Amino acid sequence: DQQVKQNSPSLSVQEGRISILNCDYTNSMFDYFLWYKKYPAEGPTFLISISSIKDKNEDGRFTVFLNKSAKHLSLHIVPSQPGDSAVYFCAASASGGWGKLQFGAGTQVVVTP
Amino acid sequence: DTAVSQTPKYLVTQMGNDKSIKCEQNLGHDTMYWYKQDSKKFLKIMFSYNNKELIINETVPNRFSPKSPDKAHLNLHINSLELGDSAVYFCASNPRGATGANVLTFGAGSRLTVL
């Protein structure tokens, strides 16, 4: 039962352009959402997060948008850089859940010159 | 100085063997986890400990037994290894626990291959 879904397994984008990654969730108890970035043979590293009381959070080139009514969040990367080529995981947690994160399947981003 | 370190990074073994993966965090976090990334690339939680106490135990075969000697260490022992146990196992830690924003820090992973 996948409660967090990333329906695009891959995304190719030109350097300098915007990358948009999408994530949908089904559990209305989720109140905290995170994006992790993962390079091959490394562990996921935290990128950006958003609480359910907000609809947008920015950190440099990265912005996460949350649409609670649609149970949808997206990650925007502007401008995309070659070093952004990685797998991006969307994750969600619920209060009182001891930090248990439910992950999506990931989206492989390739930034081309 | 690695924040969450796992050993070994790679492990190749035969079916039926028993193996352990060790994890240590130097972040002073109270909560630690084991996640499994299977061949379909899904990351799924297996166990979580808070200050040496088991708090999350997902539907995992009894052959998997976590042990936390102190809050900085969480080891995973697997008995009678099966082919389906082949996966990458990630250890993670979290400064918080039951409440608050939970941002997990992950180790680099331990790739287990069962032949």
Q: Write the pLDDT tens digit of every residue in A44-89.
A: 999 999 999 999 999 999 999 999 999 999 999 999 999 999 999 9
Which residues of B are less than 8 Å from A47 in CB distance? none
Which structural domains are found in chain A, ordered by start? 4-112 (2.60.40.10)
From chain A, the residues in CB contact with B97 under 8 A are 98-99
Looking at the partner chain, which of B41, B44, B101 has a beta carbon nearest the beta carbon of A51?
B101
Q: Which of A64, A58, A57 is nearest to A22 (CA)?
A: A64
> Where does the pLDDT of residue A1 fall: very low under 50, low under 70, confident under 90, or very high at 90 and above?
confident
| Unique residue bearing structure tokens 């996640």 | B35
* pLDDT-derived band at B3, boundaries 50, 70, 90: very high
Q: What is the CATH number of the domain that holds B46?
A: 2.60.40.10
With cut-offs at 50, 70 and 90, classify the pLDDT of residue A98: confident
**B64-70 and B73-78: which strand pairing?**
antiparallel
Q: What is the DSSP string of B11-50?
A: EEE-TT--EEEEEEE-S--SEEEEEEE-TT--EEEEEEEE
In this predicted structure, the answer to whether residue A107 has a pLDDT above a threshold of 70 is yes
Residues in B closer than 8 angstroms to A101, CB to CB, are: 43, 45, 102, 104
Domain hosting B8: range is: 4-98+106-114
Number of domains in chain B: 1
CB B7 within 8 Å of CB B74: no
